[in-house]
Amino acid sequence: MVLVGFSALFNKKSAETKNKIYYGGIIMKIKKIGATIVVCMLLLALAVGCGNGGDADTGATGNGATTNDGATNDVGATGDAGAATGDEIVLRAVHPGNSEAFFDLYAQIIRDFEAENPGVRVQFESFPEGYDEALVTLFAAGDAPDIIRTHAQDLGTRVAMGMLQPITPFFNNEDFSDLIDSAVVRFDGDVYFVDPYFALMVLYYNRDIFDEAGLAHPTSDWTWDDLQRNAELLDVEEDGMLVQFGYLSDWYNRFWMMHYWSHGGTFFDDESNPTTTAFDNQLALNAIQLISDMTDTVGIGADAGAGVSATEHFSNGRVAMTIDGSWMINVFDEMEDLNFGVALVPLGPLGRGGMSVSAGETMSATTNHPEEAWRYIMATFSLESSLMFSGFGDQATANGLPVWNSAYTDPRWNPNENMEMAGRQAQETINTVPTFQFSARWMWDIVNPTFQEMLADDLSAQETLDLLIQRTQRDVLDDIHR
């Protein structure tokens, strides 16, 4: 079985096709549009650059595949997209991806929204490839949508490009005290979107491996030291080679960030508009040292098998523990020979520095219908919608976890043990992802490759930290303010 990693979803190809399919009686358009060099040049005066990292919205769907989300829902669309026909208002909502699971969910949300808002129609458009380039093209052509699904790591760039406007005035006029705070995504003091659901990192463990070793399963009071100690106890070596790994994971950047956040660290002088790094300290060094120590312990690299991910090794029963996304619960559940459990990520002094894959509907800076756009945005993250995305706790159909505290006491939320633990992680997560401009580039082009270099070249923790600071300042922060 091939398991699709999150980083693989950042692949962007250019195409100029426009297809229509019939799905559930609704016409849905899937668009693939490539931005040209000319368009990018036209936008240079306004834009910081053409898209940076892409919106890789992942969700574990009922078919056991990790996919992007999105679809186009033309509910009887006629005439020009986004234009009002007579007294009707048409809102264009654009998404990346092509998951049929999201066809179903958003089609239902749109039907309910339109029933409650007579005279307003939503045209849902999906760009399976080249989403960033498509947005640049649409804005340059004066054909911008009203609602833009945006990943937190792309938020700063799109704000800087003049694509988005905050929803703060609308948000502050409603009572959202029941929302989990980490679901509310802010930039430079303003609210820009609310996650409709959580997809976040959790600790997976192999029950059989723990039981055979006579060790207690991970508990909610585990610290990072507990993780390391148990990983060492669960290593199994034969003929000088590790055949069972106590801990194995590919997510070096997220491991580092979660550990650092849970110990009270901050990465930049200004999280929205950073000018310099703030992680030249012992906390950041300790987290790097832990990655280095645990890597040496379990032998990530050649011992793990060239080209084989930690996720696949966990699936094959060779790994006792791994930190991976909650979207993998239903994927692992389909593996009959894998007896796994879900636990909370380890505690630090400030709590659980968990990380969510944060994305939601943002309001276009050019929409002519802000009130209607806000009502639709609000409908996408409502309690009903959030429970719908969660599959009401059914891990076989869940795309995420609810973002409302009351959802977890709602009688319709009926999870099994693993989904229940993932829900607890959602409620206790204290961070999502950095929202500054170019944060996707920082996480994937700077942080992860630097850790890979540390492991491949046997760099010390201090050498690695020095490289991280140097590369972050030179290749990201100075570029922002150039």
**Any idea what the Cα angle at residue 356 is, between residues 353 and 360, rounded to 5°?**
140
Lowest mean pLDDT among 6-15, 73-82, 172-181, 295-304: 6-15
pLDDT at 405: 95
Q: What percent of the chain has pLDDT over 70?
A: 79
pLDDT at 307: 56
End of a domain among 410, 428, 446?
Answer: 428
More confident residue, 187 or 217: 217
Q: Are residues 293 and 442 in the same domain?
A: yes
Res 368 pLDDT > 80:
yes
Q: Are residues 474 and 424 in the same domain?
A: no
- CA distances 260 to 171, 227, 277, 334, 350, Å, are 30, 15, 14, 33, 10
Res 5 pLDDT > 60:
no
More confident residue, 415 or 250: 415
Res 256 pLDDT > 90:
yes
pLDDT in tens, 224-234: 999 999 999 99
In this prediction, residue 192 has a pLDDT band, given cuts at 50, 70 and 90, of very high
Inside any domain, residue 84: yes
Inside any domain, residue 5: no
- CA distances 185 to 232, 297, 402, 407, 432, Å, are 37, 37, 15, 19, 8
pLDDT in tens, 42-86: 333 333 333 334 444 543 333 333 333 333 444 333 333 444 456
Give the Cα separation of 90 and 146 in Å (integer).
9
Q: Are residues 31 and 116 in the same domain?
A: yes
In this prediction, residue 342 has a pLDDT band, given cuts at 50, 70 and 90, of very high
Residue 197 is which amino acid?
Answer: Y
Res 38 pLDDT > 60:
no
Res 120 pLDDT > 70:
yes
pLDDT at 197: 92
Q: Across the chain, what does the average pLDDT equal?
A: 81
Averaged pLDDT for residues 270-298: 87
Res 16 pLDDT > 50:
no
pLDDT in tens, 346-360: 999 999 988 777 899
pLDDT at 363: 98
Q: Are residues 43 and 115 in the same domain?
A: yes
Q: Are residues 337 and 279 in the same domain?
A: yes
pLDDT in tens, 80-115: 344 445 689 999 999 998 778 777 899 999 999 999
pLDDT at 394: 86
Reading the block at residue 180, the tokens are 């989990």
pLDDT at 353: 86
Give the Cα separation of 349 and 223 in Å (integer).
9
Domain count, the chain: 2
How many other C-beta atoms can be found within 10 angstroms of the C-beta atom of residue 336?
6
Q: Are residues 240 and 99 in the same domain?
A: no
Q: Are residues 457 and 389 in the same domain?
A: no
Q: Are residues 266 and 144 in the same domain?
A: no
Inside any domain, residue 11: no
Q: What percent of the chain has pLDDT over 90?
A: 58
pLDDT in tens, 295-316: 754 444 444 444 568 888 899 9
Residue 292's φ and ψ, nearest 5 degrees, are -65, -45
Residue 351's φ and ψ, nearest 5 degrees, are 125, -150
Q: Are residues 263 and 135 in the same domain?
A: no
Q: Are residues 418 and 392 in the same domain?
A: yes
Of all helices (H) and strands (E), which one includes residue 364? strand 359-364
Res 338 pLDDT > 80:
yes
Inside any domain, residue 6: no
Domain that holds residue 390: 20-199+357-428
pLDDT at 273: 83
pTM of the model: 0.79
Res 32 pLDDT > 50:
no
Inside any domain, residue 9: no
Q: Are residues 62 and 187 in the same domain?
A: yes
Q: Are residues 102 and 91 in the same domain?
A: yes
Indicate if the alpha-carbon torsion angle 60, 66, 69, 74 is positive or negative.
Answer: negative
Looking up residue 332, the CATH number of its domain turns out to be 3.40.190.10
Inside any domain, residue 10: no
Res 118 pLDDT > 50:
yes
pLDDT at 14: 28
